[in-house]
Amino acid sequence: MFKNISLGIYYPGNSLLHRLQGRTKLLLLAWFTVYIVIANNYMWHFAPYIVLAALSFLGVVISGISLHHVWRRMRLLLLLMLLGAIPTLFTTDGTVKPLYTFGPFPTSFDFIRWSIVAYGVLLTIYIALFLLPIPSLQIISLRSWLKRFRIPLIFITLGVIVLLWLIRNIPPGATFPVGPFVITNLGVWSLFSLYTVFIVLYIFSLLLTMTTTPIALIEGLTMLLTPLRWLKLPVDDFALMTLIALRFIPTLIEEVEQLLKAQISRGADYAHGTLRERTQSLIALFVPLLQGVFRRASDLATALESRGYEIGSHQTRLHEKRLGAIDYGVLALVVIITVGSFFV
Amino acid sequence: MTDHIISVKNLYHTYQSGPLQKAALLDITMEIERGSCAAIIGITGSGKSTLVQHFNGLLRPTSGTVAVDGVNVQARGGDLKVLRQRVGMLFQFPEAQLFEHTVYADVAFGPRRLKLSKREVRTRVLQALETVGLPPHTYAQRSPFELSGGQRRRVALAGVLAMLPKILVLDEPTTGLDADGRTEFYYYLQRVQQKDGVTVILVSHDMSEVATLADQLFVLHNGRLVMQGTPRAIFGQGNILHQWGLTEPPLSELLIQLHKQGLAIPLDVFTLEEALHALQEIETTRHEKENV
C-alpha cells in the first residue's frame, strides 16, 4: 500500500554528484538562483541561459540517473508550464512595438451555438458507450480508456451550461471579435527566460534530492546555518529534531503497514463498509499507532539523556566532514563558467 | 488421499520500492495438510513473513498460484474478504494491536465486523477468551493495557480465534515472552489445534519450539524453499541446518555430540522423554553385555 510513497527520491549511486557534499550542492543551487536573477536583467543576452542549460544537462549525465526517470518526474511540470505559456506569450506593457499581430477574428454566436450542439451529440455518444450494455463494447480496456475522460467531461459540461445561460438573450445574427492577438518582443523574451529558468532550477533541485540522502541534506543545511548560532538560534537542536523526524519516517511507515495488516487480518476494512465501520477501523489503526509513537519517543528521550544530551548545548560531530578537493574544484569551476558567461 | 488446505505452486514475489526491486520469494512450491501444524523456519530476511502473508491475501503473488482452502489468491481481483475470515493471522508483537477499553470489546472487534447477532458475538468472544486461558468473568471487563505481556498476547490470539478461522498463521508468536509466557502460549495454541482442528502455521527461528510442535518443517533460505520434511527427518540428519544459518534444537545437538563420541544413539529423537528412553535402552544393553 505504501510502496508508492518514495521518501525523498534518493537514487543510490557513486557518481561525481553523489560524492559531492550536501552543503556544496546546496551552495551551488543557491548560487544558480542568484545567477539567474542577475542574468534576467540582461535582455536578449543568451549566454547565461545556454550555460545553465548545458550545466543542467551535464549534471543529469554525470549523475548516472537514467534520462527516463528524470523525464518521468518532469513531464507534469512541463505540461503545466505549457498551459501557462500561452498568456505569457501575449504579455505586453503597451509601449514596445509589436512583433507580430493577428486577428481580430469576427465570431458569430451561431458558431458557438452549433459547437454546443456538436458537443451535446458527442456527449450522448459517450454516455451511450459507457452506460448501455452493448456487448462488443464490454472490453475492459475500452472502458477504462473512456473512464479517464469522465471528470474532464463533467467540468466541460458544467462550463457549457454556464455559457448557454450567458448567451441566452443574444440574437442569433450577432457577432463579436476575438483578438487581436499581439506578440511582442517582451512576451517572447519572458516566455523564453521564464521557461528556461523554471526547467533548469527544477532539474537542479531534482538532481540535489536524487543524489543526496535526506540526512546528508539536513546535515549540509545545518552546517550552512551555523552562523545563526551567533544570534542565539537553536541550530543544533533544530538539526537533531529534523534528523530524528527524518529517521523515524520509514520506521513509522513500517509500523503503520504492520498495524494495517494486523487489523485487516482481524476483519478491519478500510475501503468498504459504512462510515461508522470505517471510522472504527481507523480508530483501530490510530490508537495503537499513537501509543507506539509515544512509547518510542519516550524511549528515545531516555536514551538521549542517558548519553548526556543537553538542550542548548554545543554539539560537535563524530565525523567532521571537511570540503574535499572535488567540492572546491566543482564550486570554483561553476563560478568561473557562470561569471564568464556574462562577458561573452 | 491427503487433503491439502494450502497449496502453493511456483510462487514468486518481488518487492518494488521506487527504483529498487527486491526478489523476496523464488519459485516456492509447497503443500500443507489440513489439520496439521506446519512450521516455516529460516533466518531473518529469508522470506518467511512474505510467504505467509500470501496465505490470507495481504500480499499477492508476482507470479505463480496460491490456493488456500479452495480460494485462489491471484495477482489481481478476486474476493479476499472470505479468505481473511478463514485465515487468522497473528503478527509479531501482536499485543501492540490492542486498542479498545476492555478485553471484551477488543476481542469482539473482528466478530462484530462479520455482521453476526449480538448473542453470537458474545458466545464467540467468551469462548475465545476461555480457550486462551483468560476466564471471562475475571478478564473480560479489564483494560488490556493493565495485563502482563503474555496475557496481552493471548488477548490478541483470542481476537483472531473469535473469527473462527480454519487456518491460524502465527509470525514468531513468542519473541519477547519469558519462559513461562512461552509455555503457556504454546499450551493454549496446541489446545486450539486439537480441539477445533485448526491448521496452524508457525513462523519461527526457535528450533526447540518447532521441534515439539510441528508435523512438517519448511526451511527457507534467501527466498527459496531449500528443505522440507518432518522434524524427525530434518533434525535426524545431523548438522545439516548450519549451512542456512540455523541451529538444531539443543537436545538434537547434544545427541549429535554423543553420536560423534561413539554412542549408538539414534538422532531422530527430539523430546526429552524419548531421549531418556533411548539412553536407558543403551544402558540396559550395555549391562546385558557386561553380564554375559
CB A188 within 8 A of CB A99: yes
Give the closest residue to A50 by CA, choosing from A256, A255, A192: A192
Q: Report the pLDDT value the prediction gives residue B266, as an integer from 0 to 100.
A: 76
Whether the per-residue pLDDT at B129 is higher than 80: the answer is: yes
Task: Give the start-end residues of each E strand in chain A.
Answer: 98-102, 105-108, 175-178, 181-184
CB A146 within 8 A of CB A129: yes
Q: Report the pLDDT value the prediction gives residue B218, as an integer from 0 to 100.
A: 92
Whether the per-residue pLDDT at A150 is higher than 80: the answer is: no
| Average pLDDT for A114-140 | 73
Lowest mean pLDDT among A6-20, A87-101, B40-54: A87-101
pLDDT (tens digit per residue) in B153-203: 889 989 998 988 999 999 888 887 788 878 888 888 888 888 888 899 999
| Average pLDDT for A66-90 | 79
**What length does chain A have?**
344
Q: B149 to chain A nearest CA, in Å?
A: 15
Whether the per-residue pLDDT at A2 is higher than 50: the answer is: no
Give the closest residue to B131 by CA, choosing from B109, B164, B102: B164
* Strongest mean pLDDT among A165-174, A294-303, A335-344, B248-257: A294-303
Q: Report the pLDDT value the prediction gives residue A95, as an integer from 0 to 100.
A: 59
Cell numbers representing residue B171 in the block: 509470525
Pairing outcome for strands B216-221 and B37-41: parallel
Task: State the average pLDDT for chain B.
Answer: 85
Of A11, A261, A269, the CB nearest to B113: A269
| Percent of chain A residues topping a pLDDT of 90 | 4
Whether the per-residue pLDDT at B268 is higher than 50: the answer is: yes
B261: part of which helix (H) or strand (E)?
Answer: none
CB A267 within 8 A of CB B109: yes
pLDDT (tens digit per residue) in B59-113: 889 888 898 888 888 766 667 778 888 898 988 888 888 888 899 999 998 888 8
ipTM of this complex prediction, to 2 decimal places: 0.81
CB B167 within 8 A of CB B4: no
Whether the per-residue pLDDT at A7 is higher than 60: the answer is: no
A271: Cβ contacts below 8 Å, ≥ 6 apart: none
Across the interface, do A265 and B89 touch by the CB < 8 Å criterion? Answer: yes
Could you give the CA distance from residue B177 to residue B287 in angstroms, rounded to a whole number?
A: 44
Domain coordinates in residue numbering, chain A: 1-93+184-212+322-344, 105-178, 235-311
φ, ψ (nearest 5 deg) of residue A293: -60, -45
The pLDDT confidence band at residue A3, using thresholds 50, 70 and 90, is very low
Instruction: Count the neighbouring beta carbons within 10 Å of the beta carbon of residue A44.
Output: 9
Residue A258 at interface with chain B, using a CB cutoff of 8 Å? yes
φ, ψ (nearest 5 deg) of residue B8: -115, 130
Residue A148 at interface with chain B, using a CB cutoff of 8 Å? no
Residue A298 at interface with chain B, using a CB cutoff of 8 Å? no
Across the interface, do A11 and B19 touch by the CB < 8 Å criterion? Answer: yes
Of B18, B19, B110, the CB nearest to A266: B110
| Percent of chain B residues topping a pLDDT of 90 | 14
Cell numbers representing residue B18 in the block: 521506487
Lowest mean pLDDT among B75-79, B145-149, B284-288: B75-79
Could you give the CA distance from residue B230 to residue B218 in angstroms, rounded to a whole number?
A: 9
pLDDT (tens digit per residue) in A192-239: 888 888 888 888 988 888 888 877 888 888 888 888 878 878 888 888
User: CA nearest A264 in B: which residue?
Assistant: B84
Q: Report the pLDDT value the prediction gives residue B209, as an integer from 0 to 100.
A: 77
Residue A284 at interface with chain B, using a CB cutoff of 8 Å? yes
Give the closest residue to B209 by CA, choosing from B25, B4, B39, B70: B39
Furthest CA-CA distance within chain B? 76
Q: Report the pLDDT value the prediction gives residue A179, as an integer from 0 to 100.
A: 64
The pLDDT confidence band at residue A302, using thresholds 50, 70 and 90, is very high
Pairing outcome for strands B199-204 and B37-41: parallel
Give the closest residue to B247 by CA, choosing from B203, B206, B210: B206
Could you give the CA distance from residue B163 to residue B198 in angstroms, rounded to a whole number?
A: 12
Could you give the CA distance from residue B80 to residue B5 in angstroms, rounded to a whole number?
A: 16
CB A240 within 8 A of CB A265: no
Q: Report the pLDDT value the prediction gives residue B112, as an integer from 0 to 100.
A: 87
Residue B136 at interface with chain A, using a CB cutoff of 8 Å? no
A6 vs B contacts (CB less than 8 Å): 17-18
Could you give the CA distance from residue B101 to residue B155 in angstroms, rounded to a whole number?
A: 13
Q: With the C-alpha atoms ordered A131, A137, A143, A149, is the resulting torsion angle positive or negative?
A: negative
The C-alpha cell 450494455 sits at: A133
Could you give the CA distance from residue B24 to residue B20 in angstroms, rounded to a whole number?
A: 13
Lowest mean pLDDT among A77-91, A205-219, B138-152: A77-91
- Going from the N-terminus, what domains does chain B have, and what CATH number goes with each? 4-248 (3.40.50.300), 249-292 (no CATH)
The pLDDT confidence band at residue B235, using thresholds 50, 70 and 90, is confident
Q: Report the pLDDT value the prediction gives residue A236, as an integer from 0 to 100.
A: 80
Residue B77 at interface with chain A, using a CB cutoff of 8 Å? no
Could you give the CA distance from residue A92 to residue B202 in angstroms, rounded to a whole number?
A: 74
Q: Report the pLDDT value the prediction gives residue B123, as an integer from 0 to 100.
A: 93
Measured at the alpha carbon of residue A207, what is the angle toward residues A342 and A33, in degrees to the nearest 5?
A: 35
Residues 178-217 of B with CB under 8 A from A: none
Q: Report the pLDDT value the prediction gives residue B119, as an integer from 0 to 100.
A: 93
User: CA nearest A70 in B: which residue?
Assistant: B19
**What length does chain B have?**
292
Could you give the CA distance from residue B106 to residue B125 in angstroms, rounded to a whole number?
A: 9
The pLDDT confidence band at residue A6, using thresholds 50, 70 and 90, is very low
Q: B87 to chain A nearest CA, in Å?
A: 8
Q: Report the pLDDT value the prediction gives residue B238, as an integer from 0 to 100.
A: 66
Across the interface, do A265 and B58 touch by the CB < 8 Å criterion? Answer: yes
Whether the per-residue pLDDT at B208 is higher than 80: the answer is: no
Whether the per-residue pLDDT at B262 is higher than 60: the answer is: yes
Across the interface, do B113 and A277 touch by the CB < 8 Å criterion? Answer: yes
Q: Report the pLDDT value the prediction gives residue B86, as an integer from 0 to 100.
A: 87
Buried b (16+ CB within 10 A) or exposed e, A146-172: eeeeeeebeeeeeeeeeeeeeeeeeee
The pLDDT confidence band at residue A1, using thresholds 50, 70 and 90, is very low
Whether the per-residue pLDDT at A137 is higher than 60: the answer is: no
**Chain B interface test: which of A68, A265, A294 (most B C-beta within 10 Å):** A265
Instruction: Count the neighbouring beta carbons within 10 Å of the beta carbon of residue A181.
Output: 14
Across the interface, do A262 and B91 touch by the CB < 8 Å criterion? Answer: yes
The pLDDT confidence band at residue A140, using thresholds 50, 70 and 90, is low
